[in-house]
Amino acid sequence: MSINKILNLFWAIRCMGCKNTSSLNRYGFCKECEQKMIYLENHSGIETFHILMYDGPVKEAIHRLKYNRKKYYGKRFALLIHDFIINNDIDDFDVIIPVPLHWKKEFLRGFNQCAIIAFYLSKLLKKRYLSGVLVKCKNTPSQTEMDKTGREKNVKGSFSVKKRYLIKSKKVLLIDDVYTSGATAKEAKKALLENGAGKVVVLTIAKA
C-alpha cells in the first residue's frame, strides 16, 4: 500500500451523515444521505426559515458537529445556508449573529457550533459577523425533556445584548442549528428587537 493510500485512510473526507467515503456533494453528504434529506418548503415574506428536516443524516451531522467536535462541519453547513440564502433571495440584512451559548456551556464544549457556522457564513456573504453582542446570560437547563410551555419559561429573560449601538436599526440574520419549539430563537429575537435591532430574520439549518 502506498503512503498516499495509507494517508487517505486517515484523511479521506467522509460523509457528514454516514461516514462513507464515496463521492460527496458540496455540503459534505454522500448520494445515499442526500436522498434521505428532506428540504422544507419556505415562503417568501416570512421572518423564520428552516432549510431541512431534523432527521436522519442531518440529525447525525449536527450531532457530530456538536458532540464529536467536528468543527469543520460548520464550514459546510455555512455553505448550505449560503446557497439557501442566495436561492431564496433573502440576503437583505446587515449583520449575522449566532444564537449564543452560556459561557459555561461553551467552555465545556469548547466552542459554539452556531458561532462557527455564522462566522463562515459571514465570510461567504461578505456581511458583518457580530460575536459577543447577543449573550446568553442565564445558564438554562437542557430542554430536551420539556414541552413547549416549559421551554418558553425556561428561556425567558435568558438573553441580553451588549454594545447595543452595533445592532441599532440594523437588519439582523440570527443563526441557530435546530428549531424545536422555537422558544430559544423567539426569546433571542425578542432581546435583539428590544435592544434596538430594526428587523430580525431567524434561519436554522433544521426543524425538529
Total binding residues toward Zn ion, as defined by CB under 5 A:
6
30 binds Zn ion (CB under 5 A): yes
Least distance (Å) between residue 15 CB and Zn ion: 3
Which residue among 1, 9, 12, 17 contacts Zn ion (CB under 5 A)? Answer: 17
25 binds Zn ion (CB under 5 A): no
Report d(CA 27, CA 78) in Å as an integer: 9
The DSSP code for 39 is: B
33 binds Zn ion (CB under 5 A): yes
**Residue of 54, 123, 70, 66 whose CA lies nearest to 99:** 66
Ramachandran sector of residue 126 (left: φ over 0; alpha: ψ -120 to 50; beta: rest):
left
Least distance (Å) between residue 86 CB and Zn ion: 24
131 binds Zn ion (CB under 5 A): no
Site for Zn ion in 67-86 (CB under 5 A): none
Least distance (Å) between residue 75 CB and Zn ion: 17
Of 14 and 127, which CB lies nearer to Zn ion in the complex structure? 14
Report d(CA 103, CA 109) in Å as an integer: 10
Helix or strand holding residue 6 (H, E): helix 3-11
Distance between first and last Cα of the chain: 44
Which residue among 14, 18, 56, 199 contacts Zn ion (CB under 5 A)? Answer: 18
Of 58 and 133, which CB lies nearer to Zn ion in the complex structure? 58
Least distance (Å) between residue 16 CB and Zn ion: 7
Of 33 and 175, which CB lies nearer to Zn ion in the complex structure? 33
Least distance (Å) between residue 76 CB and Zn ion: 13
9-16 long-range contacts, Cβ below 8 Å, gap at least 24?
A: 15/57, 16/57, 16/60, 16/61, 16/64, 16/65, 16/70, 16/73, 16/76
Of 53 and 193, which CB lies nearer to Zn ion in the complex structure? 53
Of 77 and 129, which CB lies nearer to Zn ion in the complex structure? 77
Report d(CA 185, CA 11) in Å as an integer: 36
Interface contacts to Zn ion, rule CB under 5 A = 15, 17-18, 20, 30, 33
